[in-house]
Amino acid sequence: MPTEGTIPYAGGETWYRVVGEGEEPGKLPLLCLHGGPGALHDYLEPLERLAGTGRRVVFYDQIGCGRSWVEMPADFWTVELFVREVQAMRDALGLDRVHLFGSSWGGMLAMEYALTQPTGLASLLLASSPASIPLWEAETGRLRRLLPEETQSVLDEHEANGTLDSPEYEAASMEFYRRHVCRVDPFPDCVQRTFAGVAEHPDVYMTMQGPNEFVITGTLKTWDITDRLGEIDVPTLITAGAHDEFTPLQAQRLNEGIEGSELVTFEDASHMQFVEEPEHYREVVAAFLDRVEQG
């Protein structure tokens, strides 16, 4: 049975969930960082099956969202806050040696954490995680210009009027999400819960990202670690979807920047490959973890 609990963190409580009883000989636990920022861990639920490879799989809702929600002023939400939370989670759960998975923002966070050169980091798994938000913004803008003209017109009109909370704008935005974020129709329950959670407590996402995936107004707008990728010196797996908002150009920059990293593209997926091609994803990740553990 999975175990759940909380740890005190930064004036609030960080909620976690551990799937699996422990590690088989030679295996290491996998700590999973969700996206957003502020998007809840729920959409990562397909990764729970990796516990079947003889390891614990650990999830948590980052401070300020989901089961770890706490109300704080906007300047509270910083990259450094979330980097420290990764270490706090490792310390609390005794994850001395660990694989670190991150999806989207979670991978940005994983890279920032890796740049602190922590001990016991066995590998990084980066699912659709940009190294540069300026490049992300340029590429999502390019994809947005490929939407049907009537959809673009709705987006343009509401952005010009500042009415981004209108149902019409949200429906038009969903056209982008269905193409480039999750192509399973309708969205699975775990994905719907994640979107509902962001809608309920949007503070972190709005502060750091902005109103959606392609309008970037938050504090991450200028975030770029491209020139520091060479400092990451652990085995790294990068995954992307062929239809991803994390485009081939972004994947290539990341792959070239992290020496020795592997890049796997899932042809029938977009931004949530573990939801869209769950069995194939599990196989790819399990094989990578095995290679790392066998040295």
14 neighbors 85 (Cβ within 8 angstroms): yes
Q: Considering 104, 123, 128, 270, which one is annotated as catalytic? A: 104
123 neighbors 147 (Cβ within 8 angstroms): no
275 neighbors 239 (Cβ within 8 angstroms): no
For 68, the 3-state DSSP assignment is helix
Active site residue 271: yes
The per-residue pLDDT for 144 is 94
248 neighbors 267 (Cβ within 8 angstroms): no
Please name every residue paired with 240 in a beta bridge, in sequence order, or none if there are none. Answer: 265
Active site residue 123: no
Q: Considering 34, 201, 243, 271, which one is annotated as catalytic? A: 271
The CA distance from 247 to 128, in Å, is 8
Nearest to 4 by CA among 19, 25, 22, 26: 19
Distance from chain centroid for Cα 290: 22
The CA distance from 111 to 242, in Å, is 22
228 neighbors 239 (Cβ within 8 angstroms): no
Domains annotated for the chain, with CATH where assigned, are 3-141+186-293 (3.40.50.1820)
For 31, the 3-state DSSP assignment is strand
The per-residue pLDDT for 26 is 97
Active site residue 104: yes
pLDDT in tens, 70-90: 999 999 999 999 999 999 999
DSSP type of residue 293: H
3 neighbors 60 (Cβ within 8 angstroms): no
Transcribe 228-290 into DSSP letters.
Answer: GGGG--S-EEEEEETT-SS-HHHHHHHHHHSTT-EEEEETT-SS-HHHHSHHHHHHHHHHHHH
The CA distance from 266 to 212, in Å, is 24
Q: Considering 42, 61, 203, 244, which one is annotated as catalytic? A: 244
Mean pLDDT, the chain cut into blocks of 10 residues (295 residues total): 96 98 97 97 98 98 98 97 98 98 98 98 98 97 96 93 89 95 98 96 96 92 98 98 98 98 98 98 98 95
